A and B are shown apart, each in its own frame.
Chain A
Amino acid sequence: MSVAVLRFPGSLDHESAARAIQAAGGTASEVWHDDAELPAGTRAVVIPGGFSYGDHLRPGAIASRARAMDDVRRHAARGGLVLGICNGFQVLCEAGLLPGALRPNATLSFVCRQTTLQVTDAESPWTAALPAGARLSIPIKNNSGAWFGDPGTARVALRYVGEDALGSVDAAAGVVDERGTVLGLMPHPEEACDPLLGSTDGLGLFRAAVAA
């Protein structure tokens, strides 16, 4: 039931992620980037959005080598669930836990808007509880959200529907690893968990984390 939320210098969305975990019925515990271990009993890990280490070198590059990531790797190797959102997706790609890399948006600009996503791989633990082909309304807010990778070998779990995908290969919005237990997502499901924000479509992903 306990979901660890990583926090690096420059993380922004750790509080929103913790609120989303609570809204899904779980307990969130914050893990500092320099912590050597995840809390005992951690069932799932969320790496939130933001600009870890000021996005220096490449977004996610420094954070992916932070000490707390060593135990995230061990957790992932055991088959534990990991969700990286936005900068967290960049961290997971840089860490080699997900295929591909995130490039600057083809629009040359920061993009902040509501998007529609389609679940294209419902076999992963993250998406299994969602209706097949489900469409989710979830916002994006990023500068480097264009996934670059080989869609022939990667599992693209969520795709953008009917709008510019920022230059993302195969309109990929979310990618899972081979086992499906590690999910990287550019859109922000934690900002779609309260009716006041116009959508609660993000809750299903956090319910999956809490059910782990």
Chain B
Amino acid sequence: MSNVVITVMPKQGVLDPQGQAVQGALARLGFSGVEDVRVGKRIELSLEGDDPAGEARAMCERLLANALIEDYRVEIVS
């Protein structure tokens, strides 16, 4: 059994309204040094099989990420 963490982030250069909204709210709370905020997703999977990283990448390609607007990263944590 492998524990896999997948991180999906909006691609650099693609407008991230969620990040901008958070940045605006942080500024209103007085956090003046925030130059950029980007908001993504963390997906945790428990996977059977010999090639959890390959399997997770295939899942990203087919469903978990949209390659046009998002980048993903796969980590095997245990």
Chain A complexes with chain B: yes
> Residues of A at under 8 Å CB distance from B?
57-58, 61, 65, 94, 100-101, 103-106, 108, 146, 148-149, 167
B68 touches which of A100, A105, A106, A146 (Cβ 8 Å): A100
- Determine whether the beta carbon of A108 is less than 8 Å from that of B14: no
Q: State A104–B69 Cα separation when bound (angstroms).
A: 11
- In the docked arrangement, what's the CA distance between A149 and B69, Å? 9
Across-interface contacts of A100 in B (CB, < 8 A) = 68
Task: Tell me the nearest residue of chain A to B64, going by C-beta.
Answer: A57
| Shortest Cβ distance from residue A134 to the other chain B in the assembled complex, whole angstroms | 30
Which residues of chain B have a CB within 8 Å of any CB of chain A? 14-15, 17-18, 20-21, 63-64, 66, 68-69
Closest Cβ of chain B to A109, distance in Å, is 9
Per the bound structure, the CA–CA distance linking A104 and B21 in Å amounts to 12
Q: How far is the CA of A106 from the CA of B14 in the complex (A)?
A: 11
Contact yes or no, B21 A57, CB < 8 A: no
22 A–B contacts from the bound complex (CB under 8 Å):
A58-B66, A61-B66, A65-B63, A100-B68, A101-B66, A101-B68, A101-B69, A103-B14, A103-B17, A103-B69, A104-B15, A104-B18, A105-B17, A106-B15, A108-B17, A108-B21, A146-B15, A148-B14, A148-B68, A148-B69, A149-B68, A167-B15
CB-defined contacts of A146 to chain B, threshold 8 Å: 15
Cβ B15 vs Cβ A94 within 8 A: no
Q: Which residues of B contact A167 (CB under 8 A)?
A: 15
In the bound complex, CA of A103 to CA of B64 (Å):
16
Interface centre among A58, A61, A106, A149 (most CB of B within 10 A): A58
Chain B neighbourhood of A103, CB < 8 A: 14-15, 17, 69
Q: How far is the CA of A61 from the CA of B66 in the complex (A)?
A: 9
Contacts of A105 in B (CB 8 A): 17
| Chain A residues within 8 Å of B21, by CB | 108
Question: Once bound together, how far apart are the Cα atoms of A149 and B64, in whole Å?
Answer: 19
Given A57-B64, A58-B66, A104-B17, 8 new contacts (CB under 8 A): A57-B63, A94-B66, A103-B14, A104-B18, A106-B17, A108-B20, A148-B14, A149-B68
Give, as a whole number of angstroms, the nearest-CB distance from A167 to chain B: 6
User: Quick one: which of B14, B17, B18, B63 has the most chain A CB within 10 A?
Assistant: B17
**A146 to B10 alpha-carbon distance, docked (Å):** 14
Alpha-carbon gap, A104 to B18, bound state (A): 8
User: How distant is B71 from chain A, measured CB to nearest CB, in Å?
Assistant: 14
